[in-house]
Structure 1
């Protein structure tokens, strides 16, 4: 059996789904392939804070995508809710940062980025157990409830006529004359005008397996992160809290996430008792009220780690119609809308809002 599509996307995480949305809205026929269920890997496993941890310590290329995405998120969330009835729960609850030793750099970044900031008063810490250092309150920073965002995006795309094939085993990629001709699965071949790889932590491995002759390296490595979920009551914690390298995220229904670990263990995705104990200790020591509530979930995901956390977005130099949108490390959700728009603009030959140069694959 043979099908065809203007765009074939391998990977149905946040970046694959958002890219599909941009291109489908531009009138392209789009097929998405995923080795498991859509949105069930790193995009689902993260916390959903719509800001990198300590963004002033990140590369400018990350800031550029983040700020463009932050402008897009409220409209995106409303659009998805109205179209599907599934609320992504964009929620501007604010972020409290307990320790900011590099406060001058933080303030400069906030001012340059037009991000509101304040020095928090003592009331912010009345229920927290921490030693503060130049604390910072960012009242407009939001979160998205990533599992619901992904569910809403999937429904939106299916309603828009995007073809989505889950649990899909890709067996090969046909190439010729410096182009991809078709993607072969166990059941069919899909002729495609353009192929996008948005496979997160599996991108490098997938390219090596399916296109072993490519010389240009896509340096993406899996980085495991583990999370806990406490079943707390609504309003137990009014805002997100970042203390050191770990955080608490309150959902609207009261559930509170505690995260996360950073582990270099290849593609091993098992949870560990050691990480569970460490996250529980962090969460309950920082916010003792959590001791009253049960832990109801513990999971792990594999982030797509790259050098400095800067993703690859753009055409692969080896093939004229092969594109990459992957390698967002911990910030796939917050960089997603801008990443998708950037790649869509490049494919459709539009002037991008973000300079594409930092994300290109070197020839």
Structure 2
């Protein structure tokens, strides 16, 4: 691709931010647009575990992106900290899964793919996490699982982008449609007027499908609501992440503990609800009984970009020259972001891709194809 290309990226979550950062050194100019503030939707709302919650339940396509990203995250965090002074806090704590109904499948997956997940005696889990609730009977553990403090990751990515001389960031700039020249997409129509570019990249998360409808394209990406709560404890309260019955607790370095999350199909409504708050508090106390005496310091909801099997759409959109997709990561946007955005840059720039791009290609995967 010619180096002086003007690239417009629609959507400023972690996927859009990292896509822009990867492309900026290789193109003429990057303009990143977001309908609200950068990273304020799913990227801000998630827990930041650098692993799918149950990695053995996903397809090889998700696994390939997850493994590449997990290995890359520590150096990404270090690079962003060095460049911006904002530490995304890639915090390696390990993760205990408790009373798994499909423990045998998990262990077989780990052995098949040579991943460091293993069965441990339940006493080891209680030794590793002394505040863990009673009554658990079995545990598996993966030592190298990290979490990233996603609001800080967003801030560091934004700062890194603002330091690039050929990047323009426009927040609170809603994209309402695409500009066409025959079969080519040559820009976007925004609330502030038309903006022309050589390539347009859609990284708009849960809103990606709605934007493509203006082209008559049915992208199977829909909003899926998730609610979380946050506690503040001592810095050493929870030494490892724990997960049971679909709910998890994630420790930050300063003692904040995130507990999540719900899975709700409520359209674009992201109003936190009392019923979810009570359910999450009950899960928190079951996992960590000491939290019974703590009040959540925050409760929020976000919208995940739900997609079939959680496999993102990465690549050019057939029939619309100049339009590209990097969206539909469902529950794993933060997990998969480094690999997804590296793969995307490889495809757009004509480089050898880091992994086989075929499973993520939009062709043949859109509704009605």
User: With structure 2 as the length reference, what TM-score do the two structures score?
Assistant: 0.93
Note if contact 2:33-2:169 (Cα within 8 Å) is conserved in structure 1.
Answer: yes
- The structure-2 alpha-carbon separation of the partners of 1:326 and 1:101, relative to structure 1 and needing over 3 Å to count, comes to same
What is the distance in 1 between the residues matched to 2:137 and 2:349?
47
Alpha-carbon deviation of 1:134? 3.8
Equivalent of residue 145 in structure 1, options 140, 145, 149: 149
What is the distance in 2 between the residues matched to 1:206 and 1:159?
29
Alpha-carbon deviation of 1:330? 0.5
- The structure-2 alpha-carbon separation of the partners of 1:74 and 1:113, relative to structure 1 and needing over 3 Å to count, comes to farther
Hey, what does 1:61 align to over in structure 2? 61
Q: Are residue 193 (structure 1) and residue 198 (structure 2) matched?
A: yes
What is the distance in 2 between the residues matched to 1:336 and 1:62?
11
Hey, what does 2:307 align to over in structure 1? 306
Q: Are residue 170 (structure 1) and residue 175 (structure 2) matched?
A: yes
User: With structure 1 as the length reference, what TM-score do the two structures score?
Assistant: 0.94
Question: How is 1:329-348 mapped onto 2 (pairs within 5 angstroms)?
Answer: 329-348=330-349
Note if contact 1:201-1:221 (Cα within 8 Å) is conserved in structure 2.
Answer: yes
After superposition, give the CA deviation of every residue in 1:126-154 in whole Å (9 maximum; x if it has no partner): 43225435410111100000000011000
Question: How is 1:6-25 mapped onto 2 (pairs within 5 angstroms)?
Answer: 6-25=6-25
Note if contact 1:5-1:31 (Cα within 8 Å) is conserved in structure 2.
Answer: no
Alpha-carbon deviation of 1:191? 1.7
Per the alignment, in what secondary structure is the counterpart of residue 118 of structure 1? Answer: strand
Per the alignment, in what secondary structure is the counterpart of residue 302 of structure 1? Answer: strand
Alpha-carbon deviation of 1:292? 3.2
RMSD: 1.6
Per the alignment, in what secondary structure is the counterpart of residue 258 of structure 2? Answer: strand
Note if contact 2:307-2:329 (Cα within 8 Å) is conserved in structure 1.
Answer: yes
What is the distance in 2 between the residues matched to 1:172 and 1:130?
54
What is the distance in 2 between the residues matched to 1:356 and 1:315?
11
Alpha-carbon deviation of 1:81? 0.2
Q: Are residue 325 (structure 1) and residue 346 (structure 2) matched?
A: no
* Count of matched residue positions in the alignment of Structure 1 and Structure 2: 356
Q: Gaps spanning 5+ residues in structure 1: where?
A: none
What is the distance in 1 between the residues matched to 2:111 and 2:27?
39
After superposition, give the CA deviation of every residue in 1:13-67 in whole Å (9 maximum; x if it has no partner): 1111111111013244110010000000001100000000111011111001101
